[in-house]
Amino acid sequence: MKLLLAFSRKGKTDPGREPVIARVVKETGVLINVEKANIDSMAGEMLIDVPDKDADLVRRRLEEMAVTVRVMENAVVRDEEECVDCGACISVCPQEVFSFDEDWRLRVNSERCVLCGKCIRACPHGALSQQG
Amino acid sequence: MEKSLDLINARIRDGTARVVTAEEMPGIVDELGEEGALAEVDVVTTGTFGAMCSTGAFFNFGHADPPIRMERVWLNDVEAYAGIAAVDAYLGATQEAESKDSLYGGAHVLEELVAGGTVELRATSRGTDCYPRRSITTELLLEDMNQAVMVNPRNAFQRYNAASNATDRTLSTYMGTLLPRCGNVSYSGAGTLSPLANDPGFRVIGSGVPIFLAGGEGMIVGEGTQHSAGGGFGNLMVSGDMKQMRQEFLRAAVMNGYGVTMYVGVGIPIPVLDTGIVRSTAVRDEDILTDIIDFGTPRRDRPSLAKVSYADLKSGSVEIGGETVRTSSLSSYRRARAVATELKDWIERGKMELALPTRRIDPAKRARPMRETAVTPRVRDIMNRQVISITEDEEIRVAAKRLLKDETNHLPVLDGSGALVGIITTYDVSKAVVTDGKLQQVKDIMTRKVIKTTPDEPVDIAARKLEQNNISALPVVDATNRVVGILSAIDLGKLFGGRRRR
Ligand code: SF4
Ligand code: SF4
């Protein structure tokens, strides 16, 4: 399951300066896969992947450390009405989420999506959006 | 053996014509041979579905009471050209709305109409004795218009260059998003199904020929604007009645960072008259070659990075300089197939008969580039040749003095041999001051990745570099990386200011 973490780096309880991920891994023993991280001086955002059965535990522990946790139910979603199966999204995706099937229909393997947003901007038909 | 068009049409009428799509044809020719395929197949249908910016429609709105001679016309806030009689207008797909927040354009209006939606017509006039009214606003459906005639000046190109990008920033182009350092290749066109690839000699594709246009019956007007079949880039001007069209084959689109365009489905039936046509319709993806062009070069003549076939492009990846690069298409092969299949169905059911061109299209014609009477200004025409520079091992203090004395904000930094190795600005120097003298030399604070220009670069391109990188000056270097001038935003301001005044 993918979790989107957000933390502010202002104020006293600044998880941005704490090794939160390392600490959670150490304490819970759950292996966390960091798929995307974006941290600057004011705030941080991180997308992590954890085994479904451990998601609750990891989530609780992170929240105790003042991290806002959002469960990403869906990765990128495609509106089938709008999509014309052009394939413009295929080569811009760093995660190879998109491909064609034998009938040149777009196949979406959204499990691998890291929500970088590239395909959303590249789709000429506004068929892709981020849901979560 | 030859077959006449009359025979083919007679077979269409009595429902015995053998119609196949251009995708099926190569296999049939392999199996039956050319003579066999000629005897077997009467019509080959082609199809393409992709971005065709050059799309639009003429509308006649009918007369209001009291009547108005429309001088300016907007449909859902998108301006249409109204310089054609009193209640007519031409709406182009790429025209953008004046006040909408998100990108909305003529293409969206065209799609809305075909989908059965209402659009708001707004028009203004100065008023005349015969047409006293000065403004009008009304809501219209497609069926309310007397005519809605799509006329697309250039559609269905024979082939399209594929696009990649050798620079180190992402480009937003009409060929879609191009990742830096040749991170992807974008292509367009249906390959084996593509109409003109199946008749590159324009033997049976010409004026008056009936076609599939966006779900309705249309026809070829003649050669498209910028038709350049001699160079492999022939195209067609096509026309059709919008009232027959379907949204499935007419879709508005937005190319990120570029603008509005329209996806249009075009299909052309090809009568199989002789073995020459058998051969041209047996074309495969492997046989259709195109160049991958570097869109990172902002000039008309862009370098080719590789020559590939549509089979290569459709395989999902190609090689550029020994590296495997992923490809994606902008046009939809799936929907191109739907066009060719539906056209096949029309002909099988006798809904459409074929016709030969009433006028041929020149297969050897080449389009010329624009004749420019005003010489495009080059960097050398406006750059400042008095360059104040500094060497990299000079102390920062010296740089500060030089910046102050010469009232400049930029100092190109040179190495011992006089080649450009960096640049420093007043901002870099003031930053160095706050580090309490830890940094001593120019090379400690200079920016090493210098954005630069050359004397013969067009000024507009240099201006875009300044804008995109949010900087205010560019060192001008010669072929040996020696600084021959500096171009500042102020020099540019003078030029563009001057241009506007004229
Ligand atoms: S770019 Fe958009 S329209 Fe094209 S295949 Fe991908 S999701 Fe569909
Ligand atoms: S958001 Fe990024 S990772 Fe997810 S599908 Fe789109 S391009 Fe791929």
Q: Which residue ranges form the domains of chain A, and what is each CATH number?
A: 2-72 (3.30.70.260), 76-130 (3.30.70.20)
Type of residue numbered B295: F
Contacts of B329 in chain A (CB under 8 A): 86-88
Give, using CA atoms, the residue closest to atom 8 of ligand 1: A83
Confidence band (pLDDT; 50, 70, 90) for A5? confident
The DSSP bridge partners found for residue B90 are: B58, B81
Contacts 24+ apart (CB under 8 A), B397-405: B398/B442, B399/B424, B399/B429, B399/B442, B400/B429, B403/B429
**Tokens representing residue B241 in the block:** 């009645």
Q: For chain B, say whether A104 makes contact (Cβ under 8 Å).
A: yes
Contact at CB, A118 and B177, closer than 8 angstroms = yes
Nearest C-alpha of chain A: how many angstroms from B52?
Answer: 12
Q: How confident is the model at residue A16 (pLDDT cuts 50, 70, 90)?
A: low
Best probe of the B interface among A86, A90, A104, by most B CBs < 10 A, is A86
Domain count for chain B, please give it: 3
> Residues enclosing ligand 1, CB less than 6 A?
A 78, 83-89, 106, 123, 125, 127-128
- Residue of chain A minimizing CA distance to B254: A124
Does residue B422 form part of some domain?
A: yes
Q: Are B292 and B271 part of one and the same domain?
A: yes
Residues in chain A with CB shorter than 8 Å from the CB of B335 are 84-85
Helices and strands in chain A, H and E counts: 3, 8
Proportion of chain A above pLDDT 70, given as a percent:
90
Q: Is B251 on the interface with A (CB under 8 A)?
A: yes
- Please report, rounded to a whole number, the percentage of residues in chain B having pLDDT higher than 90: 73
Taking only the tens place, the pLDDT of each residue in B201-217 is 999 999 999 999 999 99
> Could you tell me whether strands B184-187 and B210-213 are parallel, antiparallel, or unpaired per DSSP bridges?
unpaired
* Among the listed residues B114, B199, B101, B184, the one whose alpha carbon sits nearest the alpha carbon of residue B148: B114
Boundaries of domain holding B470: 379-501
Indicate the SS3 state at residue B334.
Answer: helix
B53 noted as active-site residue: no
Instruction: Give the pLDDT band of residue A8 (cuts 50, 70, 90).
Output: confident
Q: Return d(Cα B455, Cα B475) in angstroms, integer.
A: 10
Which residues are paired to B427 by β-bridges? none
Residue B356, domain member (yes or no): no
Alpha carbons B110 and B263: distance in angstroms, whole number: 11
Best B188, B328, B333, B337 member to test A by mutation, with max A CBs in 10 Å, is B328
Which of A84, A92, A125 is closest, CB to CB, to B179? A92
Are B191 and B116 part of one and the same domain?
Answer: no
Measured distance CA(B214)–CA(B207) in Å, rounded: 18
Predicted confidence at residue B440, as pLDDT, reads 81
In a domain? residue B369: no
- pLDDT 10s digits, B386-409: 888 999 998 888 888 888 887 788
Residue for token digits 């429309």? B70
**What pLDDT score was predicted for residue B500?**
41
- For residue B430, the domain's CATH number is 3.10.580.10
The answer to the question of residue B358 being in a domain is no
Q: Which residue of A has its CA nearest to B185?
A: A91
Closest CA to B148 of B198, B111, B195: B111
Q: Does residue B357 lie in a domain region?
A: no
Per-residue pLDDT at A33: 87
- What tens digit of pLDDT does each residue of B271-302 get? 999 999 999 999 999 999 999 999 988 777 78
Mean predicted confidence (pLDDT) in B41-65: 96
* Any atom of ligand 2 within 6 Å of the Cβ of A72: no
Ligand nearest to the CA of A89: 1
Cα B315 to ligand 2 centre (Å)? 21
Residue B363 lies inside a defined structural domain of this protein: no
**Residues B282 and B426 reside in one and the same domain:** no
Answer whether B255 touches A (CB < 8 Å): yes
Same domain, B312 and B438: no
Residue B435 sits in the same domain as residue B467: yes
Question: Are residues B249 and B194 part of one domain?
Answer: yes
Provide the pLDDT for residue B333: 97
Atom of ligand 2 nearest to the CA of A114: 3
Residues B219 and B317 in one domain: yes
Confidence of residue A28 (pLDDT cuts 50, 70, 90): confident
Q: Both B165 and B217 in a single domain?
A: yes
CB contact burial B144-182 (16+ within 10 A = b; e otherwise): bbeebbbbbbbbbbbbbbbbbbbeeebbebbbbbbbeeb
Of the candidates B332, B348, B364, which is a domain's last residue? B348
Are both B137 and B159 inside the same structural domain? no
Residue B374 is assigned to a structural domain of this protein: no
What tens digit of pLDDT does each residue of B423-442 get?
A: 998 888 888 877 766 778 88
- Burial zone of B445 (CB within 10 Å; 0-12 exposed, 13-18 middle, 19+ buried): buried
- pLDDT tens for B81-105 read 999 988 999 999 999 998 767 789 9
3-state secondary structure labels for all residues of B3-50: CCHHHHHHHHHCCCCCEEECCCHHHHHHHHHHHHHHHHCCEEECCEEE
- Residue B258 tokens read as 């570029």
Q: Is A119 touching ligand 2 by the criterion CB < 6 Å?
A: yes
Residue at token pair 């990649």: B164
- Given a contact cutoff of 8 angstroms between Cβ atoms, the answer to whether B163 and B175 are in contact is yes
Q: Structure tokens of B502?
A: 């004229």
- What is the mean predicted confidence (pLDDT) over B225-245? 95
Closest C-alpha among B357, B54, B124 to residue B222: B357
Residue type, B445: I
Give the pLDDT score at B499. Answer: 47
Type of residue at A30: V
Answer whether A124 sits within 8 Å of B329, measured CB to CB: no
Query: Greater confidence, A68 or B114?
Result: B114
Give the closest-approach CA distance of B188 to chain A in angstroms. 9
Banded pLDDT at B370 (limits 50, 70, 90): confident
CA dist., res. B193 & res. B25, Å (int): 10
Closest Cβ opposite residue A91 in set B51, B186, B332? B186
> Which of B291, B292, B276 has its CA nearest to residue B363?
B276
Indicate if the pLDDT at residue B234 is higher than 90.
yes
What's the whole-number mean pLDDT along residues B380-389? Answer: 88
The DSSP bridge pattern shows strands A98-100 and A76-78 to be: unpaired
pLDDT of residue B421: 93
Residues in chain A, total: 132
CB within 8 Å of B323: residues ≥ 6 apart: B182
Of B130, B370, B374, B434, catalytic = B130
**Among candidate residues B270, B266, B235, the one with its CA nearest the CA of residue B250:** B266
List the single residue in A86, A92, A121 with the smallest CB-CB distance to B184. Answer: A92
Closest among B222, B167, B159 to B196, alpha carbons compared? B159
Q: What is the mean pLDDT of residues B478-485?
A: 91
AA identity, residue B271: P
Kindly report, residue by residue over B336-350, the tens digit of the pLDDT.
999 999 999 999 999
Q: What whole-number distance in Å separates Cα of residue B47 and Cα of residue B442?
A: 62
> What whole-number distance in Å separates Cα of residue B431 and Cα of residue B425?
10
**From CA B52, how far away is CA B264, in angstroms rounded?**
6
How much of chain B, in percent, has pLDDT values that exceed 70?
Answer: 98
Of B87, B117, B145, the one marking the end of a domain is: B145
Residue-wise pLDDT tens digits, B115-164: 999 999 999 999 999 999 999 999 999 999 999 999 999 999 988 899 99
Residue B10, φ and ψ in degrees, nearest 5: -65, -40
Question: Which residues in chain A are closer than 8 Å to B332, comparing Cβ atoms?
Answer: 84-87, 104
Q: Which residues contact B438 (CB under 8 A, 6 or more apart)?
A: none
Q: Look at residue B369 and give its three-state secondary structure.
A: coil
pLDDT greater than 60 at residue B497: no
- State whether B330 and A104 contact (CB < 8 Å): no
Same structural domain, B139 and B177: no
B218 vs B5, B167, B214, B264, B496, CA distance in Å? 19, 42, 9, 12, 46
B413 and B317 fall within a common domain? no
Any residues with CB less than 8 A from the CB of B316 and at least 6 apart, and which?
A90, A99, A100, B326, B327
Same domain? B175 vs B243: yes
Residues of chain A found within 8 Å of residue B177, distances taken between Cβ atoms: 88, 92, 118, 121-122
Tell if the CB–CB gap between A85 and B335 is shorter than 8 Å: yes
Best mutation target among B49, B94, B108, B177 (most A Cβ atoms within 10 Å) is B177
CB contact under 8 A, B251 and A103: no
pLDDT of residue B502: 34
How long a stretch of residues is chain B?
Answer: 502
Q: Which of B145, B169, B204 is the last residue of a domain?
A: B145
Query: Mean pLDDT over residues A67-73, rounded?
Result: 81
In a domain, residue B436? The reply is yes
Judged by its nearest atom, the ligand closest to the C-alpha of residue B256 is 1
